[in-house]
Amino acid sequence: MKTSNRYGTFLAALIVVSLCATIFAARTAGQDDRWRIMHADYGYGNRRTDVTNLLRQLIARGGVNGRVAVNNQTMGGDPAVGADKSLQIVARNGRNEEQQFNYREGAFVDVNMFVVGGYDRDRDDRRGDRDGDRGDRDRGDFSVLLGFWGVQGRTANVTDLLRSMARRGGLTIRVNNASLGGDPAPGADKVLIVIYQFRGSQQATAVREGNVLAIP
């Protein structure tokens, strides 16, 4: 009887160990299959801008319905007017394999393909959801999710500033250094990029320096 009990205990322990190993292997495989963004640029030919940090932020936020649109608005401007542009992403997976991904203008990036180094997207999504809920209560159907001011490589995160200026139902400001808290890129033609939620839908807009941002 004791031998039978010991055998039963051993078998149960073996099953638990096997299940844990299977779960761990599945998680590891999942992490290995996802790609960490090393570099990203947007444009055509030699007219390309570095959008690495911007793309990481967009993916970390979860995009819009799990996707990031590839267009001049989400990529911070038009570096090659009139040309058919593309987004090029150089990424590395958990097995240290490197690969380049190419997306034509108008395409969409699936955020679940990529991870952002040093960023807990799930935690930020939860925090963003709370911020969005609070923004909806404070300002009706409108809330600012992300805001960036500058040019690629020299940007300032103005999310909190835009949230403080938002009013019930929308946001209207003159896009310049004075209204956005400073000049992150002296001498450059800057762009304000805003990702926002309005009536349950996430959208993005880009406004050049000197113009007026009016949402919605």
> pLDDT at position 204, please?
80
Note whether 174 and 209 are same-domain residues: yes
Instruction: Tell me whether residue 2 is in a domain.
Output: no
Looking at residue 32, its pLDDT comes to 59
Domain closes at, from 115, 150, 182: 115
Per-residue pLDDT of the chain (216 residues), as tens digits, is 555 555 555 444 444 444 444 444 444 444 457 899 999 999 999 989 888 888 887 888 777 778 888 988 788 778 888 999 999 999 999 888 999 999 999 999 999 999 876 444 444 444 444 444 444 334 458 888 888 898 876 888 898 999 998 877 789 999 999 999 999 889 888 989 888 888 777 778 888 899 999 987
Residue 16 lies in a domain: no
Q: Are residues 70 and 146 in the same domain?
A: no
In terms of domains, do 110 and 125 share one?
Answer: no
85 with 144, same domain?
A: no
Residue-range definition of the domain harbouring residue 140: 121-215
Same domain, 57 and 78: yes
Shared domain check, 126 and 88:
no
Q: What is the pLDDT of residue 15?
A: 45
22 domain residue, yes or no:
no
pLDDT at position 125:
43
Domain assignment of residue 87, yes or no: yes
- Which contiguous run of DSSP H or E holds residue 47? strand 47-50
Assess contact for 173 and 167: CB atoms under 8 A: no
* Total-model pTM: 0.54
- 125 and 190 in a single domain? The answer is yes
Q: Which of 82, 115, 148 is the last residue of a domain?
A: 115
Indicate the residue among 51, 82, 115 that finishes a domain: 115
132 and 100 in one domain?
Answer: no
**Residue 96 forms part of a structural domain:** yes
Q: Are both 73 and 94 inside the same structural domain? A: yes
Say if 108 falls within a structural domain.
Answer: yes
Structure tokens at 50: 């570095």
Asked if residue 136 and residue 88 are part of one domain, the reply reads no
For residues 17 and 87, give the distance between their C-alpha atoms in angstroms, rounded to a whole number.
44
Do 127 and 206 have their domain in common? Answer: yes
What's the pLDDT at 123?
A: 41
Give dist(CA 135, CA 129) in Å, integer: 10
Cβ atoms within 10 A of the Cβ of 85, count?
24
Whether residue 19 is contained in a domain is answered as no
Quick one: pLDDT at residue 35?
Answer: 92
**Residue 194: Cβ within 10 Å count:** 24
The reply to whether 76 and 128 lie within a common domain is: no
